[in-house]
Structure 1
């Protein structure tokens, strides 16, 4: 249903905002986080356009535990500037027939829950992140691995953070969400078996603490999808943009 898809986009965008805001406040206080924001996302499935989403922000950051809505991480080990964390996150990537005419006659693809391990390496103003997560509910039985590098540059009260990333989604994950089974094929929608694919992203964010006693953050990211996704008859683009603006503070 479109309501479910809209809710999924809200939760995902809210988690991005919360995580980004706390990342900009690593030296700040621990505790509960609240705020507001707005996000704009592009869908890659056919039949969807841009979505502008108002976002409530609620989160928590402690010594080891971080919770941002349904996104949870727990620091397992810290060795100098290297840390290892366990991660738990929902995957809102499914669809059903009512979402778009392109899905008519297709079996529902379910949302799922991912769990895995992440590693962070901090070196002065640089941050290198890597993580691997697996489908814990057995819907796709797939796996996704990510690697990203970011840099923080401060000019006066503003922090500028460019970030570049690469990810690999295995064939089980991509085929579940972007493949078309033989019994789902029609004259307008060919059968399609997707393989594993590499995706890329690049973006930047600006953050400053000068407004209303909290952290204001503006960000933009561009995602390039691999051919296994962009060649699917269910998609109509090979890249997409997302943007957000948020304000938050700790209790």
Structure 2
């Protein structure tokens, strides 16, 4: 069953809103990066404002789809690149290579016990702010992004590393951007978000201690510019989880899928 809410509503809905921010902001960031793959770093600031909606199916058992709407906000200049929920400070940027300090709020992580009957009796697993370093290499053929982040709020006390490749193919007013990524997450991350503690174990929910694993993601974004400054896009994504996530008694699906629609005005 789909649920709709405003950002100003209670905590559970606010958390869902952050999931939307991740899907929409991530898609918009990918769009902006792809469209400037061969350009120099911006000397002047630029803004992007818009609105979108996304539907996400998480891997937990008997959990509802999340279908939400939320504003999209992005900002970039020579030193800063921000697209909700990611903030980058550019340490050293050139035409093709950029080293950055990165902070990102991973609002899509975690759950509340009331999200599913299978989670009843589980302690809430909270989303967290992740911080670390990233590098972006833009070439004529593709954009390559690498990052290493640690849990800055100590929710899971874990670490994660990600490698992604994407490329935008343009034809007139249309764009097509496929992307592939692999993300390694350590044992603390998996244990926190997919593990079952001794005190939480029941006859139908066995104790489970997570181990590190690698998840894979594939996605594609279709964009259309009907007029100058205006962009419409459709974004499809699917994550394939590693074995230690799929083996969790809380999980009944090997993947997570999302579909997003959005409109952005670029200043």
Instruction: Indicate whether the TM-score tops 0.5.
Output: yes
Of 138, 141, 152, which residue of structure 2 is paired with 1:136? 152
Matched residue of 2:214: which SS? Answer: strand
Matched, 1:199 2:215: yes
Give the 3 Å change call, closer, same or farther, for CA 218–96 of structure 1 in structure 2.
closer
Q: Provide structure 2 residue ranges, at least 5 long, that are not aligned to the other structure.
A: 1-10
d(CA) in 1 for partners of 2:80 and 2:21?
19
Whether the aligned pair in 2 keeps the contact of 1:17 and 1:57 (CA below 8 Å) is no
Within-5 A mapping of 1:25-104: 25-26=35-36, 30-92=45-107, 93-104=109-120
d(CA) in 1 for partners of 2:71 and 2:152?
27
* Structure 2 residue aligned with 1:239: 255
d(CA) in 2 for partners of 1:66 and 1:213?
19
* Structure 2 residue aligned with 1:23: 33
d(CA) in 2 for partners of 1:49 and 1:146?
27
Measured against aligned partners, the alpha-carbon deviations of 1:112-154 in whole angstroms (never above 9, x if no partner) come to 1100111111111311111111001112110110111112222
- Report which stretch shifted further, 187-196 or 214-223: 214-223
* Structure 1 residue aligned with 2:16: 6
Deviation, 1:42, is 1.0
Matched residue of 2:226: which SS? Answer: coil
Q: TM-score, normalised by structure 2?
A: 0.86
Give the 3 Å change call, closer, same or farther, for CA 14–162 of structure 1 in structure 2.
closer
Of 190, 195, 214, which residue of structure 2 is paired with 1:179? 195
Matched residue of 1:209: which SS? Answer: strand
* Structure 2 residue aligned with 1:158: 174
* Structure 1 residue aligned with 2:6: none
Give the 3 Å change call, closer, same or farther, for CA 151–25 of structure 1 in structure 2.
closer
Whether the aligned pair in 1 keeps the contact of 2:21 and 2:72 (CA below 8 Å) is no
Measured against aligned partners, the alpha-carbon deviations of 1:16-59 in whole angstroms (never above 9, x if no partner) come to 24313422443697422111112121111123232222231122
Measured against aligned partners, the alpha-carbon deviations of 1:168-206 in whole angstroms (never above 9, x if no partner) come to 000011111100011210001000011001111112112
Deviation, 1:107, is 2.1
d(CA) in 2 for partners of 1:84 and 1:24?
17
Q: TM-score, normalised by structure 1?
A: 0.91
Deviation, 1:79, is 4.6
Give the 3 Å change call, closer, same or farther, for CA 8–45 of structure 1 in structure 2.
farther
Q: Could you list the runs of 4 or more consecutive aligned residues of structure 1 that deviate by over 6 angstroms after TM superposition?
A: none
d(CA) in 1 for partners of 2:81 and 2:229?
22
d(CA) in 2 for partners of 1:241 and 1:111?
19
